[in-house]
C-alpha cells in the first residue's frame, strides 16, 4: 500500500464515510425517526437540532459514580460499545459498490460487532449493582438469544445466493442483477423485525421498560457515559439499516451500471441511493414502533422462537432450493 492509499483509507475510516460522517448521520437519523414517530401520532415532533442539543446537554451533566461499583468496567464499557458500532460501519459500502477495507468474510465480522453492544449492555447492568439495572440486563441478554439467530439466518440468505461472505460482493452482485429483496422478501422482513428487537424499540423495549424497571441497564448512568450509550444506539440504528440495505436493497447501487459516468458523479448518485434506502428502513422501524405496544418477555421469547426462527429457517431452505434450480 502506497502512502497516498494509506491516507485515503485513513480518511475513509475517520472522516467520510467513517466515524465523523456516522456521528452526523446518526443525529439526523434520530431526528428523522422521532419526527416520523411524532407524525404517526399526530404530533409536531422535535426540531432538526434536538438530537445534537440533547447529546451536548448530556455531556455537560454531572458524571455520577455509584458507590461500590468497579470503576474501570463501569467507565470504559460505553467506549467499547461506541467503538464496536463505529468499526462495523466502515465495512458497509456507502457511495460505491465496495468498501476499500472490506474482505471475504467481513459480513460475519459486522454481525459479530453488532452483537457486542447488547452484551456490553448486559455487563453495565450487572456492574451497576442496581436491582432495576440487573433485571434489565437479564432481559437484554434473554432477548439477545431470541433475535440474533433469526438475524444471522436472514443475513445468510444473501450470502448463499451470491456465494460470498463479503458485504461488498453482495452489493456488487445486485448492481447488475435484481435486488435481493425481490428474491428473498421474507428474509428482508425478518431482518427488519430483528433489527427492531436489537435496538430494543417498541414492541421489544422490554429491557428498559420505564413503567416497570425505570431505565433498565442504564438506570445508574449519567453525563458523558450515558451520552456515549445514546449515540452508540443511534449509530447502531444507522449501521443496522445500512447493513440490511446493503444485503437486500443493493446498498449504493441503483440497478444499472454507472461506469460511463465520472467517478465523482457515480459516487454522488450511489451515496444518494444509500441515504434513501437507509431512511426507508428507518421509516419502517418508526412505523413498527408507532403501530405496536410493548411485549412481555415471555411473549417476545415465544414470538422469536416459534415464528421468527421458524420463518428464518424456512426462508433459508427456500433460498437453498432456489439456488439449486437457478444456475
C-alpha 36: how far from chain center:
18
pTM of structure = 0.90
**Per-residue confidence (pLDDT) for residue 210, from 0 to 100:** 67
Among residues 106, 105, 124, the alpha carbon closest in space to that of 233 is found at 124
Phi-psi region of 16 (alpha: psi -120 to 50; beta: other; left: phi over 0): beta
End-to-end C-alpha distance for the chain, whole angstroms = 37
On the question of pLDDT at 231 being above 80, the answer is yes
Nearest to 165 by CA among 104, 110, 244: 104
Q: Please list, in sequence order, all residues whose beta carbon lies within 8 angstroms of the beta carbon of residue 235, skipping any fewer than 6 positions away.
A: 22, 23, 26, 82, 85, 86, 89
Indicate if the pLDDT at residue 133 is higher than 90: no
> Cβ distance 105 to 165 under 8 Å?
yes
Cα atoms in the Cβ-side hemisphere of radius 13 Å centred on 18: 13
Query: What would the pLDDT profile of 174-194 be if each residue is shown by its tens digit?
Result: 887 889 999 899 999 999 999
Instruction: Using the predicted structure, report yes or no on whether residue 252 has a pLDDT greater than 70.
Output: yes
User: What integer pLDDT is reported at residue 14 of this predicted model?
Assistant: 77
Mean pLDDT of 84-107: 87
Phi-psi region of 298 (alpha: psi -120 to 50; beta: other; left: phi over 0): alpha
Contact of 141 with 119, CB cutoff 8 Å = yes
Tell me if 150 sits within 8 A of 311, measured CB to CB: yes
Tell me the percentage of the chain whose pLDDT exceeds 90. Answer: 28
Torsion of CA 62, 65, 66, 72, to 10 degrees: 160
Q: What percent of the chain has pLDDT over 70?
A: 94
What pLDDT, on the 0 to 100 scale, is given for residue 119?
Answer: 86
Total residue count of the chain as it appears in this document: 327
Task: State the pLDDT confidence band at 5, using cuts at 50, 70 and 90.
Answer: low
Between 65 and 166, name the one with better pLDDT.
166
Peptide linkage before 60 cis (omega within 30 of 0)? no
Dihedral sign computed on CA atoms, order 156, 157, 162, 168: negative
* Residue 181 or 143, more confident: 181
Question: Cα(240)–Cα(139) distance, rounded to whole angstroms?
Answer: 21
Quote the pLDDT of residue 2. 55
**DSSP conformational letter for 102:** -
Helix (H, G, I), strand (E, B) or coil at 132: helix
Q: What is the pLDDT of residues 29-57, one digit of tens each?
A: 999 999 998 888 888 889 999 999 999 99
Mean pLDDT of all residues in 152-174: 91
Amino acid at each position: 500500500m502506497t502512502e497516498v492509499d494509506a491516507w485515503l483509507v485513513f480518511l475513509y475510516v475517520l472522516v467520510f464515510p467513517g466515524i465523523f460522517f456516522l456521528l452526523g448521520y446518526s443525529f439526523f437519523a434520530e431526528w428523522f425517526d422521532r419526527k416520523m414517530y411524532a407524525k404517526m401520532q399526530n404530533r409536531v415532533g422535535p426540531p432538526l437540532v434536538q438530537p445534537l442539543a440533547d447529546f451536548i446537554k448530556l455531556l455537560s451533566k454531572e458524571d455520577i459514580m455509584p458507590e461500590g461499583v468497579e470503576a474501570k468496567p463501569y467507565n470504559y464499557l460505553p467506549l467499547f460499545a461506541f467503538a464496536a458500532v463505529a468499526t462495523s460501519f466502515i465495512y458497509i459500502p456507502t457511495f460505491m459498490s465496495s468498501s476499500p477495507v472490506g474482505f471475504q468474510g467481513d459480513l460475519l465480522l459486522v454481525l459479530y460487532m453488532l452483537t457486542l453492544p447488547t452484551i456490553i449492555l448486559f455487563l453495565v447492568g450487572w456492574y451497576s449493582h442496581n436491582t432495576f439495572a440487573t433485571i434489565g440486563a437479564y432481559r437484554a441478554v434473554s432477548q439477545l438469544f431470541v433475535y440474533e439467530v433469526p438475524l444471522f439466518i436472514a443475513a445468510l440468505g444473501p450470502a448463499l445466493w451470491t456465494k460470498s461472505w463479503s458485504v461488498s460482493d453482495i452489493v456488487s452482485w445486485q448492481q447488475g442483477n435484481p435486488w435481493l429483496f425481490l428474491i428473498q422478501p421474507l428474509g428482508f422482513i425478518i431482518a427488519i423485525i430483528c433489527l427492531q428487537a436489537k435496538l430494543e424499540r417498541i414492541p421489544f423495549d422490554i429491557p428498559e421498560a420505564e413503567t416497570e424497571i425505570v431505565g433498565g441497564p442504564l438506570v445508574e448512568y449519567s453525563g458523558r457515559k450515558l451520552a456515549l450509550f445514546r449515540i452508540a444506539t443511534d449509530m447502531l440504528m444507522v449501521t443496522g439499516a445500512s447493513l440490511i440495505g446493503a444485503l437486500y436493497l443493493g446498498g449504493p447501487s441503483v440497478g444499472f451500471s454507472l461506469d460511463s459516468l465520472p467517478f465523482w458523479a457515480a459516487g454522488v448518485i450511489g451515496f444518494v441511493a444509500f441515504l434513501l434506502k437507509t431512511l426507508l428502513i428507518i421509516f419502517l422501524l418508526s412505523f413498527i414502533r408507532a403501530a405496536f405496544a410493548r411485549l412481555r418477555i415471555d411473549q417476545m421469547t415465544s414470538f422469536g422462537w416459534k415464528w421468527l426462527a421458524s420463518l428464518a429457517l424456512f426462508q433459508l431452505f427456500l433460498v437453498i432450493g432456489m439456488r439449486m434450480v437457478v444456475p
